[in-house]
Amino acid sequence: MNHLKALTDETGILHHTKFSVLDRKEGYTVDDNARALMACVKYSDLHDDFEVKRLVGVYLSFLLFMQKRDGGLHNLLSYDRRLLDKEGSEDCAGRTLMVCGQAINSKIPKEQKLSAKQIFDRALPWALKFKSPRSKAFAIIGLNHYGKAFPDDLNVLSNMRNLAQQLVENYKDAASQDWCWFEPYLTYENVKLSQAMFDMYDVSKDQSYLQVAKDSFDFLIKVQIKEDTFFPIGNRGWFIKGGKRAYYDQQPIEAASTVEAAVNGFKITGEEKYKRAAETAFDWYLGNNSKQVTVYDEESGVCYDGITPEGLNLNQGAEAMTTYLIARLELETMFGK
């Protein structure tokens, strides 16, 4: 966790670096601080570490500061603590719900859970207005954790079903025999939609959700794993239905999201292919990728920002570091490795 600590000051985790040096001009984002909080929550479920508990407090404090009175969230904050946006993205709100739900259902101190619950409760009404499928998926995952902490709250399943049915309708509209997906394109963090469907099945035991979860995730595995190597969709063009997929730039968040979703799929179905997918996606960090480069440096403990056509992107920003830690801790939690 040393590099995570190095990226974090009293305000929160800084967004960018220039190589190994903090780039303070880029300030902070809710997206990064939510991911950093998730890494620390997962770590706290496995290890009792005072310094990590302190970081949980830093990241929760950041989210509290960025949350507006109406429960919505700003996303961008300058280094001198000036808000840089009037309205944050749906993704940052959904990601906040996802991590706060997980924080509530974790081993962090009770007082920190109460703060996470306050943020969650105030943000939840916005989730019911989301238009972004990914943001809806984030909210479903957060609600699933929230429901495990408060099993007597009957509104949890109702809210999950409301959002999940919207995703199912997206799937029916966009999917075809050779395109088992919720949209006519694949972009970023695609697997979160499949993960949300697995969560919905886990709570409801409705086989229709499980079928959509498996069909969509199996489609992603077919597209992104070739000869036991993970090839995430590149952000230079993405993958439009009927077109050619982009292979670069490859981002660490894609490997981490795939690890999480695959572990979830394995936990719910017991199917070995999901365990293999989790391990293959994680191996992307360790050199089993299209350029045979090591994205996570075990000696220094840093994670590079991704893979370009020329090789490594040598910056070492918050998104890369936090998502690596989330993937690593997810495997440790599930498989003890």
pLDDT single digits (tens) 255-273: 999 999 999 999 999 999 9
**pLDDT at 252 (0 to 100):** 97
**Tokens at 149, concatenated:** 């902490």
Please identify, among 152, 185, 203, the residue that sits at the C-terminal boundary of a domain.
Answer: 152
**pLDDT at 186 (0 to 100):** 98
Domain match, 337 and 214 both: yes
Please report, for the domain that includes residue 232, its CATH number.
1.50.10.20
CA geometry: angle at 116 spanning 9 and 87, to 5°?
75
**pLDDT at 87 (0 to 100):** 87
Q: CA-to-CA distance for 212 and 198, rounded, in angstroms?
A: 9
State the chain's maximal CA–CA distance in angstroms: 53
Nearest to 230 by CA among 277, 179, 172: 277
Where would I find the H helices in 270-311? 272-283
Domain match, 25 and 116 both: yes
Please identify, among 94, 123, 152, the residue that sits at the C-terminal boundary of a domain.
Answer: 152
Please identify, among 152, 180, 195, the residue that sits at the C-terminal boundary of a domain.
Answer: 152
CA geometry: angle at 160 spanning 156 and 161, to 5°?
115
Domain match, 258 and 183 both: yes
Domain count, the chain: 2
What is the extent of the structural domain holding 159? Answer: 154-337
Q: CA-to-CA distance for 203 and 85, rounded, in angstroms?
A: 36
Partners of 312 in the beta sheet? Answer: 307
Q: CA-to-CA distance for 58 and 20, rounded, in angstroms?
A: 22
Domain match, 106 and 29 both: yes
**pLDDT at 337 (0 to 100):** 60
24 within 8 A of 79, measured Cβ to Cβ: yes
Q: pLDDT tens track of the chain, all 337 residues?
A: 999 999 999 999 998 787 778 888 889 999 999 999 999 999 999 999 999 999 999 999 999 999 999 999 999 999 999 999 988 999 999 999 999 999 999 999 999 999 999 999 999 999 989 999 999 999 999 999 999 999 999 899 999 999 999 999 999 999 999 999 999 999 999 999 999 999 999 999 999 999 999 999 999 999 999 999 999 999 999 999 999 999 999 999 999 999 999 999 999 999 999 999 999 999 999 999 999 999 999 988 999 999 999 999 999 999 999 999 999 999 999 887 6
